[in-house]
Structure formats: structure tokens, C-alpha cells
A and B are shown apart, each in its own frame.
Chain A
Amino acid sequence: MAEAAAPRPSPERLTAAFAALQALLGDRFSTAVAVRAHHGKDESYHAPFDPDGVAFARSTEEVSAIVNICADHRVPIIPFGTGTSLEGHVAALQGGISLDLSGMDRIVSVNPDDLDVTVEAGVTRKALNTHLRDTGLFFPIDPGANASLGGMAATRASGTNAVRYGTMRENVLALTVVLPDGRVVKTARRARKSAAGYDLTRLYVGSEGTLCVITEVTVRLYPIPEAISAAVCAFADIKGAVDTVIATIQQGVPVARIELLDDVQIDAINKYSKLDLPVAPTLFLEFHGSKAGVAEQAETVEAIAKDNGARGFRWTTQAEERTRLWQARHDAAYAAAALKPGAKFWATDVCVPISRLTECIVETKKDVALSFIPCPIVGHVGDGNFHVAMVVDPTRPEEIAEASRLNDRLILRALAMNGTCTGEHGVGYGKLDFLVAEHGEAVSVMRTLKQALDPLNIMNPGKIVRL
């Protein structure tokens, strides 16, 4: 692959950097083969690239010192949280140091009165919610994996709750970052951002480690709703399901989650999560609010669904059943991979205007029906975003080639519909070319920003933009 040919630091530089890192970190700096291999790959099908070493940081000051060492010796730095990215974000394309932040897992301060929390970058979303359990508050953003808040901010992650609560973009209030020259900057105070200079927080959220290392994240919290109910509803066809979603959102029903699973995906989760749902296009929904509000929302959506050919609408307020349903949804990608022994999944990530969503999914299903690769579909349909989880064996070139062909066709289709190639997984090194196809001149604006803010190009080089 072309990226592999990029220059790597010379052995002399690495030796000098390693000595300084070892002096700083002792046994928290590792060059062991297994440790390096673990840090060069994410959860995707993308080829791994091992870093030359792995540094385990415990504090912002330590990150700053590590970055200083790497800057002195021109050694790339690739921030690493839980390694659950999907576009090769953590691959050390040009070698260098993987900076593992998982040891920075302290909750710095919970401010229930202000509805925010500051955490170190390595805190995972589940750990945060466990910590918040007794406060009556929760953090709603839930990508499939139990990702770290630092990684989620760096990739501007979202999840099944985005339709109501937004994504990391809307929910990060402030960041502490270490710049490529080792300086530590807080992008904002906890106040709601209000006309106080350029919005550096939003610039760094989604910058995929290419501009800075995020070491602390302040996010918004929400009161746990008085009542939560979940519903499952099968449809005769995709169109009925999507039309239900469109009508629901247009009527202003504040649905919290509204997810589509196609027949292939339902079959996969039935097997993986031991459920017995009818094998048909299905919506999973969740409503948050007061007891009356939740009942009213469910009734409104049920009426809409019936108008659109729903086959039964089951809803429940039982926590256990709800949890089981949503765990199955979160495990959808793993369920897909389990369709074939030894397989991984390649998740597409287009997002299109919602009026084009039915057409986009139906056309895509025609494509994949003719393919030899199993292709379950799940979608955050309220946002126009859906994933085809193509089940591939990465060791078989013909499967990768076929998945690549399907992915290209899907992305071009989405772009022709005024959509985007990636709604939530990001660019990494997997979508560099599509970013150019989608944004044209804006990519050169991004390139000049990258050059201005990381002049040595040591921050996760080769991701988002090529220099």
C-alpha cells in the first residue's frame, strides 16, 4: 500500500528517542513485539502498521514530556485509547511511538449542578456511566465499542442516541490538549462557548490525533429520564421503515434512538444474541421522557408505523428486555463477523439526506444481493446514516477486492445524493481519497491548517490529509 512507503524515522533518531522515553517512563515504555502489534491495529479490516514503541502515559504533564521528546527527535506520535477505531486511525503508517492513554482513567470532576464532567482521555464511556450511576445523570453517546472519551472526541464519535442528544461535536464543552511542541492548552472553560475567539474545541474534536493529543475531555451530561421505553417493529419493506422514521422526525417526536436493521442483520443477531425476532426489516426504537411523554411518543410512532405497513409494534418499559435489545444492537457488527468463521467486518459509513435514504439502501441491497459477500445492514436512520457490515476474510484478496468495489459504488452513490462518505467512523487512512472526492478545495484548506498547527508533521501523520 502506498502509505507504507512513507519515510520512517532513522534508527539513530529512534535510538535517541527510546533512551529518553525509557528514562522518563521506565517500564511504561515498551518495544515488545506483542505490545507494538496490539497498538498498530484497530477493529477494522485495514492493514495494521506497528509502531516502533509504545509509551504508556499517566498524566498530561507526562504526555507533554513524551511529545517534547518525540518532537526533538522528529518521531511520529499516534495517540491510542482503546484501539476500536474503524478506518486505521491508530496504524503507525510512518512508524513512531504509539501513545497509550488508557492509564489516564481518572474522573477529574463531576459537576452535577452544571451538568458536566471532566475526565481523563482514557476513561471509557461505560466506566463513565458506571461512575455516574448515583448522580441521576448519564452520558448518552454510545458507539458500538466501549471506546475511551479521548478517542471518541478525537474521532467525533456518535452512536445510537445521536438523533436526540447529538454527537461528540455537540457534547464536548472543553478539551485539554498537548500541542505538537509540548505545550498544554485548555481550549475553553466549562462555560457554554459564547463568542470568545475561534472555536478550537470544535477544531480539535474530530481531528483524529493529527493536530494534538487530547488528554482531558469535558462533556455535557443529561438527567436520566424519568421513564424509558423501547419498541421493536418489523416492516414489510425498507421503505415502510424509513418512511416511518421520516414522519416521526417531522412530527417533532423527540425519539431518543431509532435504528434500522435489515433482514440479513436480524438473522445475524438472532443467531449471535439468541433472539427470535421475525426476519424482516425492523426498527428498534427508544423513548426518553416523563411517563406520560414516553407513552405518548410510543403511541404516536405506533400509529405512524401502522400507516407504513408495520407488522406488529411491541414496546416495553422493562429494563432487562430493553438492555438485551440494545446490547444486541451494539453487537451487530460482531454478529455480522460471526456469520463466517475467521472473518472480520468492513463497515461502510455513508450518510445521505433522509429523503434519499430508502433509495440509497434499496439500490445498495440490489448490489450486495449479487455479491458473494454477506452484507447485513444497520442504520442510524434518524440521521440518514447506515452501515453495510461486509463480512470479509482479510487474508483473501478476492474478498477485499469485492468489498472495496461495493464500498466504492456505495460512496459514489451517496455523494451523488448530496451525502457524505463517513457519518461517524471518520477518515483515518481508509478514506483519504473519498475526502478529496467529497470536499475538493476544502481539503487544501485542511492541509494548510495541518501544516500550520503541526509544522513538523509528527502528529499521526498520513491521516485525514496527505501532505
Chain B
Amino acid sequence: MPLIPQDEAGVQAAVADALSRGTTLAVEGLGTKRGIGRAMQAGETLSLRALSGIVTYEPEELILTAQAGTTRDVIEATLAQRGQCLAFEPPDLSALLGSDGPGTLGGMVACNLSGPRRFAAGAARDFVLGLRAVSGRGEIFKAGGRVVKNVTGYDLAKLLTGSHGTLAVLTELTLKVLPAPETAETLVLRGLPDAPALSLLRGSIALGVEPTGLAHVPGLAAPSLGETGALTLFRLEGPGPSVRARAERLRGWLAGQGAPAVETRDNVADLWRALRDARPFAGPDRRDDLVWRLSLPPASAAAVGARLAALPGVSFFFDWAGGLIWAATPARLSVETFRAALQGAGHATLIRAPEALRASVPVFPPQADGIAALSRRIKEQFDPRGILNPGRMEAGV
């Protein structure tokens, strides 16, 4: 049975108790992202699920504060009622990971997961204004605040975002929210090879038409989306007249670049959601594949893609104009072979893999010595006894 504290004081008591008993804690919300990160063995599970509920939501301020265990469904429904959204488009990886639903706000922040709009709008981390947490020392502290700018010392809120529960137990988050785009239009090109497609995607940013989604699905990955042949997608969002004017400009530019005819499509919201959630690799045909998330400088994406294509049985698609590659590799392809094929380009994180594998190989990209030493020192300050999510990010951290 997991420990299920009812409030922040209860979380503090649970951490203090674990400290006194010398036991370790697996920190989770609903456990939907349990499969992300290194496999770990903790003495007990500390669930934040009872710390649920929106504390304050001020639509006119574009700010929302909620307890860490509040479900994403509740948050997103509440925002939608006021025409607002989480602009970083957090993915719902439950289909990919075989878990139940998108999980909690705390899990989303702890994993710092962001979707297709990330290259234009920023990452989850950029929207975390403040938080409350209980450190591995059993101390309650708050960081950041309720305003969009502050420079009051070290940026603890950003440091904790993406720390996978290894530094402190998040209890409450304050997020910046934004008006949902009024309209969206997606321009689709068909049949382009990767390199020219990626070049057009990058070029559209420089063109100044302010795209908020730039993805390319090679032919090999297309059938999993019910498509035949490669798709290259440009999403424009905003008020109707502005979107139409920008789409017109983009069409003209694409034609001038010798691109194939632009197709206009319905149901593109579903398509973007599918890419956001890595649906191409969530189907039964790829159930046993390892799934990787690779972030890299966009200009190197085509070259990396070519190297991946040379590996047997590997499928992949590009988001963020090439800044992100989602890749599925057959289980027979070793992790070392895959990492070696990247030749040091970008960061490769193993997002889906069997527990045994996640216990034996680095899930996150191995860090340079200096960085690893610094990370350990930071871990030691927040959680000197190493009781929070031990080994989740790397052995010893």
C-alpha cells in the first residue's frame, strides 16, 4: 500500500518518517509515468494523489495554482471553460506507456514534458512560475512566486522542474496559462524526403509566419497514422484573419521553393495530438520496441535521421522543425548501437523500455564528468540521505 498523505504537512511527516526509518520513497502522482526513467527500488511509494484540487485560478491573471496531485484532465477542463490552455501542449503518453490517463500536474512538471508547440512557446519549465515542495531533508519550502518575472536569487522552481522527483516532493505548482488559439490551420505537403522537408520547416520560421507546429513524418512511420507516404506539417495559430494572411504567405513561399502542392486537411487537431503523444509507436505492431526521444539542434536533424534510417527496423518522425526526433527501435538493436549511431548529436532519452533494461543502461544521456559531479552535489544538498526516487535519473542521483 502506498503512503497517501492528505496534505502538505502529511507529506512532510511521511518524508520525516522515511528519514528516521532510513527507508527510501518512490514519489508519484497516479503513477502513469512510472515507466519513465531508470528502474528503481524504493522501500515505499509516496503517492500525491490525495493532494488534489485547484487552489486558485485567476483567468484574468493567466495564472493557475493547484496541488500537485490534481489530474491533468481537471486542469485542462477548467482552463478550457475559460478559453485558456497550457501553451506547451503537454503530451499524454499513457497509450505509449500503457498507463491510465495523462496523470497529474506534479508528474507533468517533474518530467518537464512538452509537446509540438514547445519550439515556439517554450517548455513546461518555462511556464512554472512557482512551487511548494518538501525537500529530502523533510523541509517545506516555496520557490518562485505568482508573477511572471522575478529574479529573487537562485531559480529553484526551474531547477526542480524536470528533476523527476529526485530533489524534493512537489506539493503545489503555480503555472502561467495562456489564451487558447482562436483558430488553427495546418498546411500539409506530401511525399517529401526528410532533408528537403526539414529545410522547408526551418525556413518557415525564418520567414516570420510564426508557425506553432512544424513536423515531418517520413513514409515509413506514416502508415501508423493511417497515412500513405511522408507528411510535412506546418501549423499556424491565432486570430482568423492573421492565420489566413500568414497561411497565404507561407503557401506562396512554399511554391517559390518548389515544394509539392499544399493540401488543406480536416481533423488536423487529432493528427497533432497523435504526434504529441507519440502515437505512431503506441500501436500493437511496435509494442516491443524501445522508444527514444532525441533533442538536437534542428539543422543536424536530417543527418541524424539518415543515420537512424540505416539501422535495421528503426522508425522515427520529426517534431520542433527537427529539434526533436521520436524513434522506435526493435528490441534486438542494442542501446549502445543506437547511441553510437547518433555520434554525439543531441540528447537521447529512453522513454519506453522494459524495466530490466531501464535498470541496466543509462536512460538519460550520460553526462560529462563535470556536470555529473555538479548534479551529485545538488542532489546531496536537497536530499542528503538519498531517500527520494533513488537512482531514477542515474545511479546515485
Q: Which residues of A contact B (CB under 8 A)?
A: 111-116, 136-137, 155-156, 158, 162, 166-167, 169-170, 179, 183-187, 189-200, 202-203, 205-207, 211, 223-226, 246, 249-252, 254, 289-290, 292-293, 296, 351-355, 380, 383-385, 418-427, 431, 435, 438-446, 448-453, 464-465
Contact = CB atoms under 8 A, between A and B. Distances in A.
A427 B153 contact: yes
A223 B205 contact: yes
22 contacts: A112-B206, A155-B151, A162-B148, A185-B374, A191-B296, A194-B349, A195-B112, A196-B364, A200-B375, A202-B125, A203-B378, A225-B208, A252-B182, A252-B239, A290-B245, A351-B149, A353-B146, A423-B151, A439-B152, A446-B154, A453-B377, A453-B378
A425 B151 contact: yes
Contacts of B378: 198, 203, 449, 452-453
Contacts of A224: 208
Contacts of A385: 147, 149
Nearest to B237: A252
B396 interface: no
Interface residues of B, number: 86
Interface of B: 58-63, 111-113, 118-119, 122-123, 125-126, 135, 139-143, 145-156, 158-159, 161-163, 167, 178-179, 181-182, 202, 205-210, 238-239, 241-242, 245-246, 249, 293, 295-299, 320, 323-324, 346-347, 349, 364-365, 367-368, 370-372, 374-375, 377-382, 393-394
A116 B67 CA distance: 36
B208 A226 contact: yes
A223 B208 contact: yes
B145 A419 contact: yes
Given A202-B159, A385-B147, A445-B381, 19 more contacts: A162-B149, A169-B155, A179-B374, A192-B119, A192-B323, A194-B324, A195-B112, A196-B367, A198-B374, A199-B125, A250-B59, A355-B61, A380-B149, A384-B147, A420-B149, A424-B149, A442-B143, A446-B156, A452-B378
A429 B378 CA distance: 24
Contacts of B59: 250
Contacts of B159: 198-199, 202-203
B364 A205 contact: no
B206 A290 contact: no
A84 to B, nearest CB: 15
A423 B126 contact: no
Majority DSSP secondary structure for residues of A touching B: loop
Contacts of B381: 445, 448-449, 451-452
Given A185-B374, A192-B123, A167 B208 contact: no
A198 B293 CA distance: 17
Query: Which residue among A155, A203, A293, A443 has the maximum number of chain B CB atoms within 10 Å of its CB?
Result: A293
A169 B140 CA distance: 25
Contacts, number: 261
Contacts of B245: 290, 292-293
A193 B394 CA distance: 17
Contact of B295 (A111, A192, A419): A192
A197 B364 contact: yes
Contact of B145 (A156, A166, A207, A418): A418
Contacts of B61: 353-355
Nearest to B113: A195
A195 B293 contact: yes
A292 B242 contact: yes
A296 B238 CA distance: 12
B246 A465 contact: no
A26 B378 CA distance: 37
Contact of B126 (A166, A189, A196, A451): A166
Contact of B347 (A194, A289, A431): A194
A207 B154 contact: yes
A427 B151 CA distance: 7
Nearest to B114: A194
B210 to A, nearest CB: 7
Contacts of A170: 122, 126
Contacts of B323: 191-192
A52 to B, nearest CB: 27
A431 B208 CA distance: 40
A449 B382 CA distance: 8
B88 to A, nearest CB: 12
Contacts of B298: 113-115
Contacts of A114: 297-299
A169 B153 CA distance: 12
A451 B378 CA distance: 10
Contact of B377 (A246, A424, A425, A452): A452
A195 B162 contact: yes
Contacts of A442: 141-143, 153, 156
Contacts of A423: 147, 149-151
A26 to B, nearest CB: 29
Given A111-B297, A155-B151, A465-B153, A197 B375 contact: yes
A186 B158 contact: no
Nearest to B82: A250
Contact of A353 (B125, B147, B178): B147
Contacts of A249: 62
B377 A187 contact: no
B153 A446 contact: yes
B391 to A, nearest CB: 14
Contacts of B377: 452-453
Contacts of B375: 197-198, 200
Query: Which residue among B156, B181, B202, B394 has the maximum number of chain A CB atoms within 10 Å of its CB?
Result: B156
A187 B370 CA distance: 9
Contacts of A448: 381
Given A197-B375, A296-B242, A167 B149 contact: yes
B155 A196 contact: no
B45 to A, nearest CB: 22
A246 B179 CA distance: 12
Query: Which residue among A200, A251, A383 has the maximum number of chain B CB atoms within 10 Å of its CB?
Result: A200
A191 B140 contact: no
Nearest to B351: A195
A190 B242 contact: no
A195 B347 contact: yes
Contacts of B112: 194-195
B179 to A, nearest CB: 4
B148 A290 contact: no
A290 B374 contact: no
Contact of A439 (B142, B158, B296): B142
A197 B167 CA distance: 12
B374 A453 contact: yes
A439 B139 CA distance: 14
Given A194-B347, A203-B159, A252-B178, A443 B153 contact: yes
